[in-house]
Chains A and B, each alone.
Chain A
Amino acid sequence: MNVPEHLRYTEEHEWVEVLDDGQVRVGITDYAQDQLGDVVYVELPEPGTEFEKGAMVAEVESTKSVAEVYAPLTGTVTAVNSQLVDSPDLVNRDPYGEGWFVTMTPSDGFDPEQLLDAAAYTRLIE
């Protein structure tokens, strides 16, 4: 299972990438998409919406089940990956790239060190 070194992770199988401008990009991990199977629908939030850490930010439906995606941090959604509406299979094909879900501006006090690093996440899914 692919767990890129440069990302941070949650115990609920989201990944977080801290971008150069301080925003973060969020998606679900390779392990999560593999467990879900073929993704057939993704329900995304409205840009501008604020989320508390742990609140449901998106929904993913697969041929097997439905899963919730939780905000890995408190912040405001700045953009959503609208490609997922017509091509939900991007979540399966490229979970860390074209299959991203949202970008967020973290609220003050966000510290990526509070999230799991690749080694800790790898231990979680093993």
Chain B
Amino acid sequence: MTRSPLHDLHVRLGARFVDFGGWEMPVQYESVLEEHRAVRQGVGVFDVSHLGRLEVTGPNSTEILRNLFTNDVAKYEPGRTHYTMLLNDDGGIVDDIVVWRWDEDHYWVMPNAANADRVRATLEDRGAHVVDLRPSTCLLAVQGPAAPRLIEETFGQAPARFRTLEVDGVRMAGTGYTGERGGEVCLPIEAAGPVLEELLEAGAVPCGLGARDTLRLEAGLALWGSDIDETTTPLEAGLDFAVDWDHDFPGKTALECQRQTGPSRRLTGLVMEGRGIPRHGYAVRSGSSVGEVTSGNISPARDTGIALAYLSPPVAVGEPAEVEIRGRWVPARVASPPFHR
């Protein structure tokens, strides 16, 4: 199991840890719900050093990434970030990825922790020059309505939404996984501890992967390994906003085929109308449609259970549904995330 370079600091802060993608990372400090609320109302900071950070350089970088990912990197000029996917030949999602473009042929490719080695191997197979930044850096996610100001106070400037920014060797972007403003900040390992302590001193609440999960679920953001994987396609998961049909990529033929007929199932938001928390694997029904919860938890904003579930055939927003919670069918309603606004 790999540990964050900030592990000892997390221990001192009272963190509990969880295995995530082969990394032992903080899951919570004091309370998942308090950390969740801190990010919705103020600012929280997450150590997300487990996330993949692959630096891709070289004169053929743009062509290689363009031919590999669903989104067209060439359409996002330097200084912008975008969401994209790597698919298998069946159109299944091998990984969902955020790309930070620094220059014409200078990218950071950010895969999920568990998929970083596989994405790296795929890039190298295509001839890309790849450097794994994880051994030399930490990544902190500073998230919440007060996050842009805190980033600006700490680093002198803050990145705009979906834009990259470099200040004195610190590289950051206006990205995240919580549905809030803020950014992700990449720091040399030796600088990361003092910066994290400075952020906490300035009022940021240390947050773990527990709150990160309730925040992303409330925002309706899919989690690879739970809501999406190699057996689900971008069309089924509602991620086709990140598919550019005007260029070629692995899985495009299968995906076009599914686009013609329409996917037989769709990843759907559910809000519970009865008591109980829907959890991964619970059965769902709505009219003649059936399916399964892929992610579920409490929505602190609504104080009720929420879920993402595949329903086959797809069901319209507003329709009634039921989730089987340990033998009881509990009423729910099909809803369109985000759930917290």
Contact = CB atoms under 8 A, between A and B. Distances in A.
B273 to A, nearest CB: 14
B210 A66 contact: no
Interface in A72-124: 89, 92
Contact of B279 (A40, A59, A66, A92): A66
A51 to B, nearest CB: 18
Interface in B202-217: 210, 214
Contact of A37 (B28, B276, B277, B279): B28
Interface residues of B, number: 13
A53 interface: no
A17 interface: no
A40 B214 CA distance: 13
Contact of B31 (A37, A59, A61): A37
Contacts of B28: 37
B210 to A, nearest CB: 6
A63 B275 contact: no
B276 A61 contact: yes
Given A37-B210, A40-B298, A63 B32 contact: yes
Given A37-B28, A37-B31, A38-B32, A63 B214 contact: yes
A64 B32 contact: yes
Contact of A63 (B276, B297, B326): B297
Contacts of B297: 63
B33 interface: yes
A94 B326 CA distance: 28
B314 to A, nearest CB: 29
A64 B275 CA distance: 16
Contacts of A41: 275-277, 298
A41 B276 CA distance: 7
A113 to B, nearest CB: 34
Interface residues of A, number: 12
A64 B32 CA distance: 9
Contact of A64 (B210, B276, B326): B210
Contacts of B275: 41, 43
Contacts of B277: 40-41, 61, 66
A38 B31 contact: yes
Interface in B25-67: 28, 31-33
B143 to A, nearest CB: 18
Contact of B33 (A38, A43, A59, A66): A38
B108 to A, nearest CB: 32
A89 B297 CA distance: 16
Nearest to B32: A63
Nearest to A89: B33
Contacts of B32: 37-38, 63-64
A38 B275 CA distance: 16
Nearest to A64: B210
A110 B201 CA distance: 54
Contacts of B326: 59, 66
Interface string A30-41: 000000011011
A60 to B, nearest CB: 11
Contacts of A92: 31
A34 to B, nearest CB: 9
A113 B297 CA distance: 39
Nearest to A40: B298
Name, among B28, B33, B210, B279, the residue most crowded by chain A CB atoms within 10 Å (CB to CB). Answer: B33
Interface string B260-288: 00000000000000011101000000000
Name, among A40, A59, A92, the residue most crowded by chain B CB atoms within 10 Å (CB to CB). Answer: A40
A5 to B, nearest CB: 27
Contacts of B210: 37, 63-64
A115 to B, nearest CB: 27
6 contacts: A40-B277, A41-B276, A61-B277, A63-B33, A66-B277, A66-B326
Interface of A: 37-38, 40-41, 43, 59, 61, 63-64, 66, 89, 92
Task: Give the top 4 A-B pairs by smallest Cβ distance, nearest first.
Answer: A40-B298, A63-B32, A38-B33, A61-B277
Given A37-B32, A38-B33, A59-B326, 5 more contacts: A37-B31, A38-B31, A61-B276, A63-B33, A66-B326
